[in-house]
Amino acid sequence: MPFASRRQIVETLLIAAAVIGGMLLLWMMRGLLILMFGAILLAVILRIIARPFKQRLGLPDPVALLVAVILFAGVVALAFFLFGQEIVRQAETLRESIPSAWQALFQRLESVGLGEPVRQWLQSVGSGGEGVLSSMTRFLVSFTGAMADTLLVIFGGIYLAVEPSLYRRGLAKLLPAAARPRLTEALDDCYRALRLWLLGRLTSMVLVGLLTGLGLWALGMPAALTLGLAAGILDFVPFIGPIVAAIPAVLLALTTSPTMALSVIVLYLVVQQIEGNIITPLVQKRAVELPPALLLFSLVALGLLFGVMGVILAEPLTVVLYVLVKRLYVIDALDTPTHIPGENEGS
């Protein structure tokens, strides 16, 4: 075999090994990658807050960002100060009421012959534990890890927001010079799309929280403020969030009567219909519209890849992938015109 042919074979094998090794490394680091995306999302939020101070008040970019960080932290602290005691009180009401609601649910299941099968299923699910001590140890480890991840996302997001152009230039330098302008343009597209998506999602979350809280208050439900706040926050996660938010409300309503539980279920369904048919279409006129089937399958796929964080960040990550496919594949590779969310707006 000629020497040149051997060299080509060796080079091909080395390239294949490098690609496979890189993919394995990315797979092993997938937990870090999803945290990096969380930091990027936080950086976008801080840039959104800083934008009016920079454009309308003429503040320098670092000063505007510092104001944004202080304002963001201040809003969170003020919310805890104004509503913290009431939320804690209502959360305590929930904590005390949920066990009796669970017991009432079991009694109704037993009346129709389903109590024992459900109890056996729950016992089989929890039979893999090693006792209370090991459960508490796992909880402490998980809590400590979650706190560390949260701090990593917060500080990473602040550093990224301070000078995003620095990291964008560094990422572009990893590619050949001819490909750098396309990458820069794609990153700008992703930023604009994420900004529009965040504004739309935050609007929906606020309206869903208000409608749910007011509806529960009108029904005479206890802990209406806490349940409405939970509904608004969990609305960040499509499909799954509204279901998770409704479970404690329904269980709590069961302590009153089945009629109240049915009213609560109807309320949550009505709020979701209002969001899906009125709020979302109005918001998406200036936001990012994702095909529902694409979002559903992305939620499952990213949950399998990244776990709980993948589910929480599924929608914004899908927005980024959606824009990258449009820009780098449909427009650049296939030379097919298509709309990029936010392309007519400035950065």
**Tens digits of residue pLDDT in 58-107:** 788 888 888 888 888 887 777 676 555 555 665 666 666 666 666 666 66
Which sign does the torsion angle of CA 224, 225, 229, 235 carry?
positive
**Which of the four pLDDT bands, split at 50, 70 and 90, describes residue 12?**
confident
Average pLDDT of every residue of the chain:
78
Confirm whether 310 is domain-assigned. Answer: yes
Q: Does the residue 136 lie in any domain?
A: no
216-225, 303-312, 313-322, 337-346: lowest mean pLDDT where? 337-346
**pLDDT score at 130:** 45
Residue 150 has pLDDT above 70, yes or no: yes
Higher pLDDT, 131 or 110: 110
pLDDT of residue 214: 92
**Measured on CA atoms in the order 152, 30, 187, 196, is the torsion positive or negative?**
negative
- Write the CB contacts of 100 (distance below 8 Å, at least 6 apart in sequence): 255
pLDDT at 128: 45
pLDDT tens-digit series, residues 247-290: 888 877 877 777 888 899 999 999 988 888 787 777 766 667 77
Residue 180 domain flag: yes
Q: Which residue has the higher pLDDT, 45 or 23?
A: 45
Using an 8 Å Cβ cutoff, are 41 and 195 in contact?
Answer: no
13 within a domain of the structure (yes/no) = no
> What integer pLDDT is reported at residue 261 of this predicted model?
84
For the whole model, what pTM was predicted?
Answer: 0.73
**Percent of the chain whose pLDDT exceeds 70:** 75
- Interior/surface letters 52-63, b for 16+ CB within 10 angstroms, e for the rest: ebbeeeebebee
For residue 327, the tally of other CB atoms under 10 A from its CB is: 23
Q: Which domain holds residue 45?
A: 32-113+144-331
Tokens linked to 278: 């009125």
Is 182:332 a contact under the CB 8 Å cutoff? yes
Bigger pLDDT: 116 vs 238: 238
Beta-carbon contacts of 222 under 8 Å, excluding residues fewer than 6 positions away, are 90, 93, 97, 252
At 113 the pLDDT is 60
Residue 128 lies in a domain: no
Specify the number of domains making up the chain: 1
User: Which of the two residues, 271 and 150, has the higher pLDDT score?
Assistant: 271
Of residues 140 and 241, the one with the higher pLDDT is 241
Structural domain contains residue 165: yes
- Higher confidence at residue 169 or residue 113? 169
Q: Which of 181-185, 203-207, 342-346 has the highest mean pLDDT?
A: 203-207
| Residue 262, domain member (yes or no) | yes
Out of 110-114, 140-144, 177-181, 329-333, pick the least confident.
140-144
| pLDDT above 60 for 124 | no
In a domain, 300, yes or no: yes
Residue 338 CB neighbours (<10 A): 11
* Cβ neighbours for 336, distance < 8 A, ≥ 6 positions apart: 330
